[in-house]
Chains A and B, each alone.
Chain A
């Protein structure tokens, strides 16, 4: 019987193609479950999961919590804002204190890259990375690929462009790893200041002309401009950014084919994407959110089955 090759989900980098296929097949079953009138299964009734969020989140936190509850796990939530972290407690101490309450799995978001990897080496629990700084956000990349697979039948051979703030984006890096693993063609597009140097070494191409990028692609994944992570000015004004890298209906209609629009949220309406595009038939933004619950159920289920 198949199982994941890893005991933690720290990043897509540590997965192989078979792992992704297994997660998708398992998510198919959970998607059927969450569309029943009774959406809950009793599988994880003896598992306790702690959601530890050192950074703000709405979608991811809700999605994880819902996934855990649909699997009947016990859930405890922890936000750094209301905790002893403010009093100077270290990460390992905080987590070990939580684990001594007999927690089996930790879902963690942290502003520092590598926080999940660090934790997995020092504590005895299964760790799921729900975003670590500008490093990785594996469940988001999985649900993005899963949504492409659902919409277009397959990920292999598809042309995907990731548009926007690549430099500060964990979603971009995880997506690049996931898409390359599944043999998709990937381009990134954005202002040169927001594209990391040497990103081509990941086997992808850089395009600075949005129109050309959209003409080439089957799927455009629009990222948010992460103002909160910007310590200096990366582009002159938001208005100028929108003019060059924002997608609007007129631009979409001028393309020779219909492309799929994705966005990991939260959307800055009118900046990277206009409202009429976000709410159009070409957008699968809300499908991404629904698939997020199924994907997270699959990841939690598969990792929990490895806890001895």
Chain B
């Protein structure tokens, strides 16, 4: 006899393995795959903006925080959509650098370079929405949760990501708003490109 929970766990594990197997088989034949085109990104940005609007209405008590370095592009783009297409007047937008809050200081060969933090408003009793391009292990968001406390005690914190890499989390962190969920194995990379920085809007899955 398997109880409900045991059945659930074994089903999820089997499903996870199947997904990874399928992903691996397909990817053996290619090294770079387009996950999202410019048009798809455009549509997703509008959907995410609408979902934010649905929950936050006029954004009077909400602040958007882009996670440095790559989350800032998405945060800027979303703010632009909210202001221009949905006529939201005041969107508080900041950027948060998490370098000094990471849990892997001195643990790898890589030295992390710091980026600018710009939060010129109080987050005390505000609804904070973290914005990042890819959610992978969840460790960046863990660091961001610690970092934001230096600016006050928010009423609540939500997470918005363009790409949610499934089955790769090291911590119990999930997005409230997600653009696209993808199955990627660990040695693959998800690369998000933005027109203003990389010349075009696109998301690629890259394997070595």
Contacts and interface: CB of A to CB of B under 8 A. Distances in A.
A32 B119 CA distance: 10
Interface residues of A, number: 24
Contacts of A29: 97, 99-100, 114-117
B196 interface: no
B110 A1 contact: yes
B150 interface: yes
B101 A41 contact: yes
B8 interface: no
Interface residues of B, number: 20
A33 B100 contact: yes
Contacts, number: 52
A32 B94 CA distance: 14
B106 to A, nearest CB: 6
Given A26-B114, A32-B116, A308-B106, A42 B101 contact: yes
Given A1-B111, A36-B151, A305-B106, A42 B97 contact: no
Contacts of B102: 43
Interface in A21-46: 25-26, 29, 32-33, 36-38, 40-44, 46
B52 to A, nearest CB: 27
Contact of B146 (A3, A42, A46, A304): A42
Given A1-B113, A2-B113, A32-B116, A307 B106 contact: yes
Contacts of B106: 46, 304-305, 307-308
The winner among B101, B110, B150 for most chain A CB atoms within 10 A is B150
Contacts of A2: 111, 113
Contacts of B112: 1
A305 B111 CA distance: 7
A41 B111 contact: no
B15 interface: no
19 contacts: A1-B112, A2-B111, A2-B113, A25-B114, A29-B97, A29-B99, A29-B100, A33-B117, A33-B150, A37-B150, A38-B149, A41-B101, A42-B100, A43-B100, A43-B105, A46-B106, A304-B105, A304-B106, A306-B111
Given A29-B117, A38-B150, A41-B100, 6 more contacts: A2-B111, A37-B150, A42-B101, A42-B146, A46-B106, A301-B100
Interface of A: 1-3, 25-26, 29, 32-33, 36-38, 40-44, 46, 71, 301, 304-308
In order of increasing CB-CB distance, the 6 nearest A-B pairs are A41-B100, A38-B150, A29-B114, A43-B100, A1-B111, A3-B111
Interface of B: 97, 99-102, 105-106, 110-117, 146, 149-152
